[in-house]
Chain A
């Protein structure tokens, strides 16, 4: 029974695993016997998983491969293995060729019965009032593998119940079966190190070390990991029973991570959000924003009907009226109209809006990004399949550079993937950012540069990789030349280097220089023909990549073909009220989303008609919009998004739209009709079909093909339709030198995961929204005589703002980092990207 070693084509590939990442090793096929049947399975799988290849289910509680190495704690998976006297845990025993396993002998059944009896001994049988009842692994396993009765007649263990573990999570320690999953998640996956096991033996229970709340970006995952009703969502508690609800799969569009989600729906309302494991996208995790922000969708503050400005008031209006007002303004403006799209705007919405502007109004003034126009060559180079990474590629890279992005705030789910790469795949990590990163502790090399000096830093790195003299670049970058050299060595020495960089830098830099430098670095590393090596751009907007690729750019059309010469977003701002008389904002609020929000505030005040698709009455909508159309929220939406790695994903409508809300694409089609353009769409799939016709790289794609787990366009034949860049390396402009502090501090800004309407209006997330805060080094704190919690005034050349001080050891002396939010004072103070700030007590 020693078959030839073959390379298996595994039938049951993990969801979304359309192709295996280059770095992932092949597994040979082996043959083993389980309950008398010969079964072929990939070598090295744990028996629990290998058994599935033979259709055998082995019950587990603590086993969860996503949490890393098995712990063998619950003992539910005991099996008999020929040649080993004691029963073995199938969760921790790798399958080997020729192994013979029995899962149904009297001895194994006795052990399974016993473990169920032991677990139930202290588990309260309050299933009728437990949220988990009906979808509870403990219930299922008790029925499937239990004795059906207990001999335990003693008093059960008691704890106060339930207690709040955090604003979002309740813990019932009586129900806990101590499987460790939540603790392991906190300690080994999200690495926030907050959850621990307290006490020991039968008194052991889960909690935080000193009883403080469990606040962490990914805390909600422990609710889903819990195999019993011990960890429950406080927002979902007692809201529904499993037999009251329906589940609908879709994609979260709150950030570029585009995690796959399942919406739990009852009576046309989203009751909770669950992960929908897609290895190629999210690995089965969600951030707390994606998980809990759904509460905001039911909030009173949400705009659910059209509003039209009359005098200085925004008044509710019928759709017809609002559409008429907007359409007549657009018609009047004609070619002097413009549109910006962003956020979770779908490819379909973007496509119709683009057609409305170009075909209906004769305007090419459309943009979905900031920082000027990208040349066709730069834009194409940055999306060339040969040098861009998929998410699983990141996991299997052997060296990762995180450049100028804080993943946990900008694409949270990727933070976990980088940790996985380091912890489980042996990747070496370098972090190069201005502000200290949450990934620093995982990094072999951390490099700091001065705020806004990413350009000089990246060029220094390029020179170091090329073996050229760095000159004064490190000084200009405010960085350490040795750290730069170390990163260069790391990347050069790697077989599959991966560079993750934030598009954000282009927003701030006001040019494409950092992107061109990344392109040059990738070229210099010579990894064009190495599968699984290259870079991944973290877009600012959730569907930033899709909007670019369908041609929502002033100078580029579908598939980044050269087309037109419209105004970029910055040029639009400058032209408002003068050459631009009507502006449509689709899912984007430049006052909030762009770093030059205050300038937009001033520009919008001069604008003619501002038509805004909005969820919340704030920012531009509140201050400048003349017509507001209510925006659909995630589960109300149908359409497609393009993931930062090129994966097209489907949004599925799972609930009725709230109030008077209509589909965004429908409203655009109505506007088009009113300006005399028939877009020819009655249902959203017609737009998808138009995109499949009109965007060469998406040619022929259908919703069915995209399916539940998405498809990367680079892996389809139509990828060959892409226009090649005429060059893939670029002449770089001389980088600016970082400002010299001279007594004041260099000013950097950052965004937090805990911000925006979705967070502010969600009951259990609202407490996490931070006040305006400025982070300083302890040395600067001492020099200025300020401490954590003190209120200070920040003066920049643009304005002043009050902030609370947070001293952080890892902040470089001489720099200050201000939490960037839509707070007016902050927007004013950071207008024009001032280099320096004065901190006054």
Chain B
């Protein structure tokens, strides 16, 4: 890495950094005080835009631009911090919230100041109980110190903060489903437009950003947007937290400069494959990103390079797959997850994910033919781009990529699994396939 300083993970393991005393000893909230004292909101917004910071939740949309979409005016405006980190393989926000909650809160206050927001929420996934406890305690500390609430530090600016726990649904990480859930409704994605910037939470202007994105805010204003933009590549600025998991020697969260060669992350930071194993495939950005192969290890790890290779950087979660793992298993496991998490609102996702799982299960069980692989690819194609939100695509993209790139392995698996079936299994075949039903549904 050419940029060797850590930003978000600076002192991350310092004992009790989560307390406001330690955070302040480290200079925490100084930036907030400076911003409120010295800078008008437009300047802060300009700095955020100049930084080129792209959203760290998955979509990679420029944060400053998004904040600039909020209409001016006197109405209630909302900031929702998306802490529903639920993309399989992603666990960076968890560490940020657990160990340095005030970095997030300070960032949220400054972002609210920049966009004229007066009501802020952290929507945290229900499973993150400990982290939610930490955030609630931190929010209380910040209120007690006067960093939250009315008229913060006598600046005239005020913002409230509520930590809201979700009930455990992947779909609530989708920004509009998050809003519905936060409003107390069933967490289903909304039709866009209108976009949240215009009609979001309670139909008010709403800015939604990921934990990591907001944790960057205070660092950006402190060093200046232009300076921040020098880190990383031209279009992928800054550092990125990468959660590396799967078949590697040293799984964990790493902060890297965007644009670092992928090989460096996988071999130097994560220690490479387990002894005696070789990497076979990797998800570069969470389980919804199309898989890449070892041929792509030299890609710079940034938004555009990964996209150019036909995948996406997503939330920055790298899952490594080695030669001990069956791609059929990976595809089935991935599809099952999205089938289980599909909200059921739109047709292609609801029916397509469930159909794909059924077909992959037959592949797994040796009850499929290579023709079924064509149907899987076709079903995935029909899901992609045709759904209400991106959950359907999140299954179709990786599954389709696995079938395309590892077709010989799938075909070999079908043949091997078929041969493994005993004659007794064959006898139950009719039952499993429910032939009677096939006849009526043909």
Contacts and interface: CB of A to CB of B under 8 A. Distances in A.
Contacts of A155: 358, 433-434, 437
Contact of B359 (A154, A178, A197): A154
B386 A197 contact: no
A156 B434 CA distance: 9
B350 interface: yes
A29 B3 CA distance: 58
Q: Which of B169, B346, B353, B437 has the most CB of A within 10 A?
A: B346
Q: Which of B345, B347, B375 has the most CB of A within 10 A?
A: B347
Contacts of A69: 191
Contact of A118 (B344, B348, B434, B438): B348
A340 to B, nearest CB: 52
Given A73-B388, A197-B186, A202-B342, A153 B441 contact: yes
A40 interface: no
Contacts of B441: 125, 150, 152-153, 156
Interface string A89-132: 10010000000000000000011001101110110110000000
A118 B351 contact: yes
Nearest to A118: B351
B442 A150 contact: yes
Interface string A160-198: 000000000000000001101000000000000000110
A802 B76 CA distance: 54
Interface string B239-270: 00000000000000000000000000000000
B355 interface: yes
Interface in B386-401: 386-388
Interface string B338-373: 011111111110111111001100100000000000
Contact of A151 (B350, B375, B385, B440): B375
A75 B387 contact: yes
Q: Which of B171, B353, B354 has the most CB of A within 10 A?
A: B354
A247 to B, nearest CB: 31
Contacts of A110: 382
A177 B353 CA distance: 15
A119 B350 CA distance: 9
Chain A's interface size range is 35 or more
Contacts of B442: 149-150, 153
B7 to A, nearest CB: 35
Contacts of A75: 346-348, 386-388
Contacts of A115: 347-348, 386
B345 A73 contact: yes
Contacts of B433: 153, 155
Nearest to A74: B347
A69 B191 CA distance: 10
Contacts of A122: 351, 354
Q: Which of A89, A92, A199, A201 has the most CB of B within 10 A?
A: A201
A199 B340 CA distance: 10
A832 to B, nearest CB: 50
Nearest to A197: B186
Given A87-B386, A111-B386, A114-B386, A71 B351 contact: no
A73 B392 CA distance: 13
Contact of A114 (B341, B345, B382, B434): B382
Given A72-B191, A75-B348, A155-B434, A125 B440 contact: yes
A320 interface: no
Contact of A201 (B341, B388, B437): B341
A204 B188 CA distance: 12
A200 B169 contact: yes
Query: What does DSSP make chain B's interface, helix, strand, loop or mixed?
Result: helix
A152 B355 CA distance: 8
Contacts of B355: 118, 121, 152, 154
Contacts of B388: 72-73, 75
A781 interface: no
A685 to B, nearest CB: 51
A300 interface: no
Q: Which of A86, A121, A125 has the most CB of B within 10 A?
A: A121
A92 B192 CA distance: 9
Contacts of B358: 154-155
Contacts of A152: 355, 441
A473 interface: no
A125 B438 CA distance: 11
B343 A200 contact: yes
Interface string A43-81: 000000000000000000000000001111111101000
A115 B347 CA distance: 7
B389 to A, nearest CB: 10
Contacts of B344: 178, 197, 199-204
Given A75-B346, A153-B441, A202 B386 contact: no
Given A70-B191, A73-B346, A115-B348, A201 B385 contact: no
Contacts of A111: 382, 386
B278 to A, nearest CB: 35
Contacts of B350: 118, 178, 201-202, 204
A423 B142 CA distance: 40
Nearest to B436: A155
Contacts of B437: 155-156
Nearest to B344: A204
Nearest to B193: A92
Nearest to A205: B344
B339 A202 contact: yes
Q: Which of A72, A76, A202 has the most CB of B within 10 A?
A: A202
Nearest to B434: A155
Given A75-B346, A114-B386, A196 B186 contact: yes
Nearest to A70: B191
A675 B352 CA distance: 77
B426 to A, nearest CB: 17
A138 to B, nearest CB: 12
A10 to B, nearest CB: 26
A119 B344 CA distance: 12
Contacts of A125: 440-441
Given A71-B191, A125-B440, A197-B186, A86 B385 contact: yes
A153 B355 CA distance: 9
A463 to B, nearest CB: 37
Nearest to B343: A200
Interface in A132-166: 149-157
A92 to B, nearest CB: 5
B359 to A, nearest CB: 7
Nearest to A113: B382
A550 B434 CA distance: 69
A119 B343 contact: no
B119 to A, nearest CB: 24
A98 B333 CA distance: 47
Contacts of A118: 347-348, 350-352, 355, 382
Given A114-B382, A119-B347, A153 B438 contact: yes
Interface string B93-117: 0000000000000000000000000
Nearest to A154: B358
Given A72-B388, A115-B386, A200-B344, A92 B191 contact: yes
Q: Which of B345, B351, B434 has the most CB of A within 10 A?
A: B351
26 contacts: A69-B191, A71-B191, A72-B191, A73-B345, A74-B346, A111-B382, A114-B386, A115-B347, A118-B347, A118-B350, A118-B351, A125-B440, A125-B441, A150-B441, A150-B442, A154-B358, A154-B362, A155-B437, A156-B441, A178-B344, A201-B341, A202-B342, A202-B350, A202-B351, A204-B344, A204-B350
Given A73-B347, A153-B442, 9 more contacts: A71-B191, A73-B345, A86-B385, A124-B440, A150-B441, A153-B433, A154-B358, A156-B437, A199-B344
A-B pairs, top 10 by smallest CB distance, nearest first, are: A204-B344, A114-B382, A202-B354, A201-B342, A118-B351, A154-B358, A155-B434, A72-B191, A201-B344, A121-B351
Interface of B: 169, 171, 186, 191, 339-348, 350-355, 358-359, 362, 375, 378, 382, 385-388, 433-434, 437-438, 440-442
